[in-house]
A = this chain, B = another copy of it.
Amino acid sequence: MRLTDIASRIGGELHGDGSIEITGVAGIKEARRGEITFFANPRYEEYLLSTGASAVIMASNGYEGDSRRAYLVNPNPYLAFLKVIEIFSPRDYDEPKGIHPTAVISEKARLGSNITVGPHVVIEDGAEIGDGTRLLPGTYVGFRSKLGANCLVYPNVTIREDTCIGDRVIIHSGTVVGGDGFGFTKTGNLHMKVPQIGGVLIEDDVEIGSNVAIDRATTGMTKIGRGTKIDNLVQIAHNVVIGERSIVVAQVGISGSTEVGNGVTLAGQVGIVGHIRIGDGSMIGAQSGVTNSVPPGVRYSGYPAREHSLSKRIYVAMTKLPQMFRAVTQLTRRVAALEERLDDEESS
């Protein structure tokens, strides 16, 4: 699609070559040749110079002279960008499709308006589905679980009983919300199951990836705060609390009752023990093992996780360990030789 065609559909003043072909959309950091992006947050100004995008939507333009790419000036760049996405992305899911006759829906469930319920979906007694929410094929919604408005639940998701989900939440396929927490008490040799009678609370604008497991609380609630994004294959144990706007990358595991603050980033494959706290705004590097609480605003990494700058020095040092061993062996020999020479000298 040519840039002029896009411009005429979303509105705005075009600077640069409108005849170029636009093949897709992307964020300003990730965009490549042929793609269109947008610029709204001043903190990303540096990327305006380096972006690979062929066209940028932005509110004001001081870049008319920049011949490396085209600019589309629009008072609300993000809204315009969303319109471009609509042009490019398949919209199969976006039209409410109604309720498929193979879905099995309890008469005691409450359904909002304009919802989509795909084939083979099951909705149990007491469940509530908010306006505009789409449940794609094979998804299960348990007893008394509530989804807010405009949620999107992909195929083959399991939402167990007593789960409470806000508005605009996206849950990808294969994910299980509300599985029993892993709780046992030992009596003699035997592990007896501690009933997991709490629930899960997922706030507005959370997105959860594929094949994630979020366990229900023993009592009370496991909680994922507003705007937090969770990648694929993540493990979230019972009674974990994650704050708002945090990022949890793939294959992270968070043990029971740990609290993760607001704006935290947990990189891939991080493991966190139970009953600790990760402070607001902290970043934990990939594959770290976090064994103690982490203060706010720091960058931690390694095993056991500690200040990233220290971890880096430790890992550099490790690489030189074999040569240091040789150095110490040699030093030992030289010191022994010195001692002998001094002994000789003194005894002579």
Using CB atoms and an 8 Å cutoff, list the residues of chain A in contact with chain B: 23-30, 32, 35, 40-41, 43-44, 78, 85, 88-90, 92, 100, 102, 104, 118-120, 122, 124-125, 136-138, 140, 142-144, 154-156, 158, 160-162, 170, 172-176, 179-180, 182-195, 197-198, 207, 209-213, 215, 218-220, 227, 229, 231-233, 235, 237, 245, 247, 249-251, 253, 255, 263, 268-269, 271, 273, 286-287, 289, 303-304, 306, 310, 313-315, 317-322, 324-325, 327-328, 331-332, 334-335, 338-339, 341-342, 345-346
**Complex formed: what's the CA distance from A271 to B345 in Å?**
58
User: Contact at B327–A317, with CB atoms within 8 Å?
Assistant: no
Residues of B within 8 A of A310 (CB): 319, 322
Residues of B within 8 A of A25 (CB): 194-195, 197, 219
User: Contact at B122–A118, with CB atoms within 8 Å?
Assistant: yes
User: Contact at B24–A219, with CB atoms within 8 Å?
Assistant: yes
Residues of B within 8 A of A137 (CB): 104, 122, 140
Residues of B within 8 A of A32 (CB): 219
From B138, B211, B315, B331, give the contact of A304 (CB < 8 A).
Answer: B315
User: Contact at B342–A338, with CB atoms within 8 Å?
Assistant: yes
* Known A-B contacts A104-B100, A161-B92; A210 and B176 likewise in contact (beta carbons under 8 Å): yes
User: Contact at B158–A158, with CB atoms within 8 Å?
Assistant: no
User: Contact at B218–A233, with CB atoms within 8 Å?
Assistant: no
Residues of B within 8 A of A154 (CB): 158, 160, 179
User: Contact at A219–B23, with CB atoms within 8 Å?
Assistant: yes
From B120, B197, B219, B320, give the contact of A138 (CB < 8 A).
Answer: B120
* Known A-B contacts A25-B195, A78-B192, A104-B137; A176 and B120 likewise in contact (beta carbons under 8 Å): no
Nearest to A174 among chain B residues (CB) is B176
Distance in Å: Cβ of A265 to nearest Cβ of chain B: 10
**Complex formed: what's the CA distance from A32 to B219 in Å?**
9
User: Contact at B179–A209, with CB atoms within 8 Å?
Assistant: yes
6 A-B pairs besides A102-B120, A119-B122, A138-B138 with CB distance below 8 A are: A119-B120, A138-B156, A156-B156, A176-B211, A180-B209, A190-B227
Residues of B within 8 A of A174 (CB): 158, 174-176, 211, 213
User: Contact at B271–A271, with CB atoms within 8 Å?
Assistant: no
Residues of B within 8 A of A263 (CB): 189
Distance in Å: Cβ of A141 to nearest Cβ of chain B: 10
Residues of B within 8 A of A286 (CB): 271, 273, 289
Residues of B within 8 A of A176 (CB): 156, 172-174, 210-211, 232
Residue of A138, A327, A346 ringed by the most chain B CB atoms within 10 A:
A138
